[in-house]
Amino acid sequence: MPGQAQKAVTDAYGVPYTRFVQAVAPLAYDPEVIEAKPRETRLMREQMQRRRALRNLSRARGAQDPLRHARTS
């Protein structure tokens, strides 16, 4: 508000909040940050494939699927 002293609101690190927001907001539009998302989803997909392969291996050996039999009630 005009004519009023701006109170310095700080985040957890003691950085003035307005400056913190000004520093972080451009990251949402940064092409490198936007490009990082497909990589994350690819890593998660590879992790899921690895888990599925391990689960199928153990099932082939005759072991119960621990994830499927975790909640029986």
- Does the pTM surpass 0.85? The reply is no
For the stretch 1-57, pLDDT in tens is 455 555 556 656 676 666 667 777 767 667 666 666 677 778 888 899 998 888 887
Q: For residue 71, is pLDDT > 60?
A: no
In the prediction, which pLDDT does 11 show?
A: 58
Q: How far apart are CA 25 and CA 19, in angstroms?
A: 10
Neighbours of 55 (CB within 10 A): 15
